[in-house]
Chain A
Amino acid sequence: MNANKIARGQPDRFRRWVMDIVIFALLSMGFAQTSQAGVMGTQLALEDGVRQQQITKLEDFIGRKDVSQQLQALGVSPELVAARVQNMTDQEVAALHDRIDTDPAGGDALALIGAVFLILLILEVVGVTDIFKSV
């Protein structure tokens, strides 16, 4: 299920290189908007710990770049990626980076097949599942 690995099969290096630059530019715009040099945001006070901001910023930047590439590999169009990542905090980006392939993805309850259908029908009747319209 590692779609991002497939995408790293470098079919078109130049395109990716251009895309990286675009993402870099968009993300940098985001940074310019939110962080002034040396000002400590409210989150730092809330976490009760000033992390080494320079290091964090660098890690955060790499994390955002990685997650952006992951999202693209999972089918998000390049021009939407930056805006999607921009509304996540550092912590959310870091967590998503590790779990993007395993986190629950809410979709829908349809698409059932054969034996599974029967078993689920039984579970539905006794109230374990809640897939069907009205049983």
Chain B
Amino acid sequence: MRKRAGTGFCSGLFSLAALLAGGCASTTATDFGADPAAVELTSTPFFPQERYQCGPAALMTVLSYSGATVTLDELVANVYLPAREGSLQTEIIAASRRAERIPYRIDGSLASISAELNAGRPVLVLQNLGVSWFPRWHYAVVYGIDPDRNLVRLRSGTDANRTSKAGTFLRTWRRSDNWAIVVLRPDELPANPDRLEYFSSISALEATGHLTTANQAWRTARARWPNDLLPLFGLANTELSQGNLVRAEQHYLELLVREPTHAMARNNLAYTLAGMGRIPEAIQQLETALKLPDLRPAVANELQASLDEISSMRSFSVD
């Protein structure tokens, strides 16, 4: 009798739970990837969070592990949003750039986390520890997995060694659209890089003014994808932005030998030459570019504007 009552109560709990969770209480397949082995990056530091400040604490964990010079106080000042009582993903990303690291979003699978851990990098994740109607958004750092015991190991909040069942972790992670990033040094590549995602991460660093780091990262990218012209273009652009005109010219010329119809490279080469006072050569480059077939109107307009600007420099220069 007693036993039966207990079973009834239990199954009642489960159906109630299933109802509350919107039917997602079903078992979740845990796939750690091909040939999964247990990994534990035991030297991952731990920064216990203050109230509402798991964002800065988790970010501090991955940044200091990668050797960035940054303090927890700085991160709190740069990512914590008081009225939201938490930190936004965009600001976590921005603060990683401020620490001269490349924030790279890995694809959302345990296999990808496993690959990054095996490459020696802990992974910062966003979880919803609650449910969709009662969200408890939380940042934590995965520093280990144990496929045999079906466990994920986290530095989480005030818990230095939290172990979650892989299925539970996956459910809490899925509610954040499986958001996970690694913070890369400019000499590091993601374990399984998505080329365009990685290039995009570097160009964002470039666009926000971190030119030295972006320059190094473009070199890393060029070594990995020697046939791709974008890293070379990025390399040239970061040299130009830093005022290294001689090196910028070399890179643009190399690029244009390989791809003579690269109108943007020719445009930027023109500014490089103009910066060295070689106005006639700059004008010649732009005129060449403007004669390219199949030039899109937006690009043609930019080239024409550049030509007008650089031509006007000539009238001021003293021969």
Contacts and interface: CB of A to CB of B under 8 A. Distances in A.
B159 interface: yes
B308 to A, nearest CB: 9
Q: Is the interface of B mostly helix, strand, loop or mixed?
A: helix
Interface stretch (B35-43, B78-86, B115-123): B78-86
Interface in A78-114: 80, 83-90, 92, 95-96, 100-101, 103-110
A38 B79 CA distance: 33
A7 to B, nearest CB: 10
A113 to B, nearest CB: 10
B196 interface: yes
Contact of A73 (B83, B126, B299): B83
B197 to A, nearest CB: 11
A126 interface: yes
A81 to B, nearest CB: 10
Contacts of B290: none
Interface string B241-259: 1000000000000000000
Nearest to B154: A130
B94 A84 contact: yes
A50 interface: yes
- Which among B14, B165, B202, B264 has the highest number of chain A CB atoms within 10 Å? B264
Interface residues of B, number: 88
A133 interface: yes
A118 to B, nearest CB: 10
A86 B208 contact: yes
Contacts of B178: none
Contact of B139 (A46, A85, A90, A106): A106
Interface stretch (B64-72, B166-174, B184-192): B166-174
A89 B207 contact: yes
- Which among A84, A109, A110, A130 has the highest number of chain B CB atoms within 10 Å? A130
Interface in A29-59: 30, 33-34, 36-46, 49-53
B281 interface: no
A130 B51 contact: no
B264 A44 contact: yes
B21 A107 contact: no
A45 B233 contact: yes
A23 interface: no
- Which among A41, A71, A87, A95 has the highest number of chain B CB atoms within 10 Å? A87
Interface string B41-59: 0000000010111110010
B254 to A, nearest CB: 16
Interface of B: 13-14, 16-18, 20-21, 24-25, 49, 51-55, 58, 77-79, 81-91, 93-95, 97-98, 126-131, 134-139, 157, 159, 164-165, 167-169, 171-172, 176, 196, 199-200, 202-204, 206-209, 218, 230, 233-234, 237-238, 240-241, 264, 267-268, 271, 296, 298-299, 301-302, 305-306, 309-310
Given A76-B81, A104-B89, A105-B84, 20 more contacts: A33-B209, A34-B209, A39-B241, A40-B302, A43-B200, A43-B204, A43-B207, A50-B299, A74-B82, A80-B77, A84-B78, A88-B93, A96-B88, A101-B84, A104-B176, A107-B54, A107-B136, A110-B51, A120-B131, A127-B167
Interface of A: 3, 30, 33-34, 36-46, 49-53, 71, 73-76, 80, 83-90, 92, 95-96, 100-101, 103-110, 116, 119-120, 122-123, 125-131, 133
